Amino acid sequence: MGKHLVIAGGGHAHMLTLANLHKFIEKGHKVTVIGPSPYHYYSGMGPGMLGKTYTPEEVRFATKHVVEKQGGVFIQDRVERIDPESKTAYLESEKTIPYDALSCNVGSYVPTTIVSGEGRDIFPVKPIEKLIHFQERVLELTSQQKITIGIIGGGPSAAETAGNIWRLGKYYCNNMPDITILSGQKFMARFTENVRNRIIHSLTKRGIEILEQDFVSEIKTGEITMESGQVHHKDLILLAHGIKPYPVFQKSGLPTGPDGELLVNKYLQCTKYQEIFGGGDCIYFAYQPLDKVGVYAVRENQILYHNLMASLDKTDLQDFDPGGEYLLIFNMGDGTGIMQKKKLVLGGKLAFTIKNYIDRRFMKKFKSIE
């Protein structure tokens, strides 16, 4: 008798499973996919979409279409909590979905606790779709006047979005915006000085301001107040100060990592309930902390696909190996990139060409099943 596989979120770690839904269905299983949007946007190309290097259509995967054409059911909704004892997922719409196996790739969000008031013209960098609305607002305002933009955050997201806002301004805006990064203590602090200096040089030579040694305490529409008391007035504000997993696992009483991620074992399986699996930003791998980067979600694809099928068929599960050092390339928005792999650091057009090739190949592989 067939069983019910429920997939929460159409993110990077589920791409291979989504591409092979028909194999579950051919075995008599029912598949339901729950996602907040009919599309999944590839975060690695998000900054490039912001700067109009890519169109939204080029960086997104048609989740709903792919699910339905293979005979699965797609529900546009979000999982609010899980009852592992009754094997039931509770959705934000108050629907309930029973499952025999559940896989979670529900992603992450940018906290807005520092935002007070109505929050108009304040945009988070995630979900990636928010960058489309931010881009539209930049184009609208710069068609009328010169504006100022403040980016909150000191990591890769702040660096890449700043560089690509510059590209948007240079090639598509009537008035070039002034761009300021408010980075906290130290900009790009977790990277080597070589990488950090290259990124700072790339941005500052184009007139992008980087402010360090001060943290944001409060944000209101048009106004950023720092812990030092200094106030910065900005027409648009972009929040890129870190991500957190959605609180679904904490609400469900499931084992979690330090930030509320689903705690998983070597099979990418919940450490307490063997019917629940997960991947991407929303999990904490019990054996070692993994950076919140897309490469791990991509590496999890094959294991999640195999183990979900094995869970339903009662066959052996496979271990997940996170692998060694990963290639990291930043899209700086001016046709150049900055690449790091172990001790190798490369900057310039070649680095961006490599990133562009890898990203487009990844999307082409999965868009081919649409």
Give the model confidence (pLDDT) of 136-194 as tens digits. Answer: 999 999 999 999 999 999 999 999 999 999 999 999 999 999 999 999 999 999 999 99
Helix (H, G, I), strand (E, B) or coil at 257: coil
Domains 4-109+243-326 and 122-242 share a fold: yes
CA atoms within 13 A on the CB side of 293: 15
Give pLDDT, residue 1: 75
Give pLDDT, residue 65: 96
Helices (H) and strands (E) counted in the chain, each on its own, are 10, 25
pLDDT digits (tens, 9 = 90+) for 4-53: 999 999 888 999 999 999 999 999 999 999 999 999 999 999 999 999 99
**pLDDT grade for 270, boundaries at 50, 70 and 90:** very high
**pLDDT grade for 64, boundaries at 50, 70 and 90:** very high
Give pLDDT, residue 329: 97
**pLDDT grade for 257, boundaries at 50, 70 and 90:** very high
Query: Distance between CA 225 and CA 231 in Å, rounded?
Result: 4
- The answer to whether residues 97 and 34 touch, using CB atoms and an 8 Å cutoff, is yes
**pLDDT grade for 107, boundaries at 50, 70 and 90:** confident
**pLDDT grade for 367, boundaries at 50, 70 and 90:** confident
Nearest alpha carbon to residue 41 among 55, 53, 56, 54: 56
Nearest alpha carbon to residue 333 among 213, 177, 191, 110: 177
Q: Which CATH architecture has domain 4-109+243-326?
A: 3-Layer(bba) Sandwich (3.50)
Would you kindly state where each structural domain of the chain is located, as residue ranges?
Answer: 4-109+243-326, 122-242, 327-370
Give pLDDT, residue 11: 87
Is the domain covering 122-242 a CATH 3.50.50.60 domain?
yes
